[in-house]
Amino acid sequence: MMLLRKSIKSLIFAFIVIIPICCSQNISRASFPKGFVFGTASSAYQYEGAVKEDGRGQTIWDTFAHSFGKVVDFSNADVANDQYHRYNEDIQLMKDMGMDAYRFSIAWSRIFPNGTGEINQAGIKHYNNLIDALLSNGIEPYVTLYHWDLPQSLHDRYTGWLSPQSIKDYAAYAETCFKEFGDRVKNWITFNEPHIFAVQGYDVGLQAPGRCSILLHAFCGAGNSATEPYIVAHNVLLSHATVVDIYKKKYQRKQHGAIGISLDSFWYEPASNSYADMQATQRAIDFHLGWFLEPLILGDYPKSMRTRVENRLPRFSQAQSSQLKGAFDFIGINHYTTWYARENSTNIMGVLFNDTVSDSGALTLPIVIGKPIFDKASSVWLYIVPHGIRSLMNYIKQKYGNPLILITENGMDDGNSPFTSIKDALKDEKRIKYHNDYLTNLLAAIKEDGCNVRGYFAWSLMDNWEWGAGYSSRFGLYYVDYNDKLKRYAKDSVKWFKNFLAT
């Protein structure tokens, strides 16, 4: 009960201290603390293409994207942005904007085509070339080791993250990267958004590998939504702790780098002032952010998860808990939007499906009658609520002791209408306002509230293949013409960032 009261207190504090900043402010790089890092972000599968070149092995997303009906526009990322061949051109785009850093992921299957075994030297060479090109242009590499693209062979061999064998194989892959690239890479991210691939991949089945128990496997074919997402999350957390331990003991002192993890989180606000909705809001946060952050701070899952999931939630041994606690130099936060939460009193979904959503007992929605309706981006889930990032930073500060935070993703998308000309698509005033207003609120969290935030990475450098949305969603600062040799065009937001960073 004491822990619940503390959580609710942190939640209330995050609401009370925030004075929403609704209007555009005159901010620039100089507004932020000295050394604050600005960059753009990407991932291997969404950007590289060249899926069958230079020994790269197949991934679960190659399989999923080529399965009928899994991607809304029936596309795949076989070519994507072709950054595998065009990285020098793209680095010039970043340099022209004045960006400090580039966050990208290494494709595990380019290093180990079968997940384990012999190293693919062509993959090592490619990432060496990319890292060297970034550094020679004054851009710091921030490397994500795993951004959803598990080698298909590991899924075929032992169902991937559902097996503890994944911990050993991931550690061997990660250590290979430390050995090969750690003399130049000073910032490592173990996993990107484990919450999303645990839930979307193993609960609702909408992302690779597409497992669930919904409708008796008519949609997914296999899986158990009541247990698998928790098993996957558990093995991922243990993988993270193992790799951080390896890095800190064997490489950090010599290589002088830092290591963390990127966690996604909406901000949630109660649908009403009732205590039930306040509790539901806390549970929504626990089952989203707390699920992965709390073990790294306190060594165990949130109390609300232990209470509600019971024996379906795996347990950490004392040694595992000790290894998890404090296993980071920084925490990456990927934040895009804010939703409302209310008590799920009927729990119809729980009766039908018994999964992570029903386990939380919180019904989360972007729109609630009687509450403000915010502007939205193209994606159905992405509502534009700039003060949410300030609230989230304050919540993390109050509840978890103000750890060092990097905003490793933030951005919004436009649609990809065939009736919109390139000229019109480049006029992305809404994106400019989005970044300006989120950065303004982030600045207030840092300077007025004392939140320990040291970096901001815009998602994304370019329009890209956006997972289940395919090419129907455009998040980029640069427009990519998929109909004309993937030519890149600067949107107005590029000009805005260039001015922002040059000031």
Q: Report which of 270, 474, 293 is spatially closest to residue 382, judged by C-alpha positions.
A: 474
- Please, is 44 exposed, middle or buried when counting C-beta atoms within 10 Å of its C-beta (0-12, 13-18, 19+)? buried
CB 332 within 8 A of CB 268: no
- CA–CA dist 213, 219 (Å, integer): 9
Helix H or strand E encompassing 189: strand 187-192
pLDDT at 1: 55
pLDDT at 503: 72
Catalytic: which of 48, 193, 228, 466? 193
pLDDT at 2: 53
E-assigned strands of 349-497? Answer: 362-365, 405-410, 414-415, 453-458, 473-474, 478-481, 487-490
Note if 448 is an active site residue. no
pLDDT at 13: 63
Note if 193 is an active site residue. yes
As given in the structure block, the two tokens for residue 266 are 């909406």
Q: What single-letter DSSP state applies at residue 141?
A: E
Q: What are phi and psi of 205, to 5 degrees?
A: 75, 20
Quick: pLDDT tens for 9-21.
Answer: 667 666 655 556 6
pLDDT at 346: 74
CA–CA distances in Å: residue 47 to residues 44, 106, 112: 5, 11, 19
As given in the structure block, the two tokens for residue 481 are 């013409």
Cβ-based neighbours of 212, under 8 Å, separated by 6 or more: 202, 203, 204, 205, 219, 220, 223, 225, 355
Catalytic: which of 48, 180, 294, 409? 409
CB 59 within 8 A of CB 151: yes
Q: What's the whole-model pTM score?
A: 0.96
Q: What are phi and psi of 16, to 5 degrees?
A: -70, -45
Domain locations in the chain? 32-266+376-501
pLDDT under 70: residue ranges of the chain? 1-10, 12-24, 215-217, 347-353
Query: What amino acid is encoded at 496 in this protein?
Result: W
As given in the structure block, the two tokens for residue 184 are 């130049």
CB 109 within 8 A of CB 149: yes
Residue 270, helix vs strand vs coil: strand
- CA–CA dist 478, 491 (Å, integer): 5
The architecture that CATH gives domain 32-266+376-501 is Alpha-Beta Barrel (3.20)
CB 295 within 8 A of CB 313: no
pLDDT at 252: 98
pLDDT at 219: 82
pLDDT at 436: 98
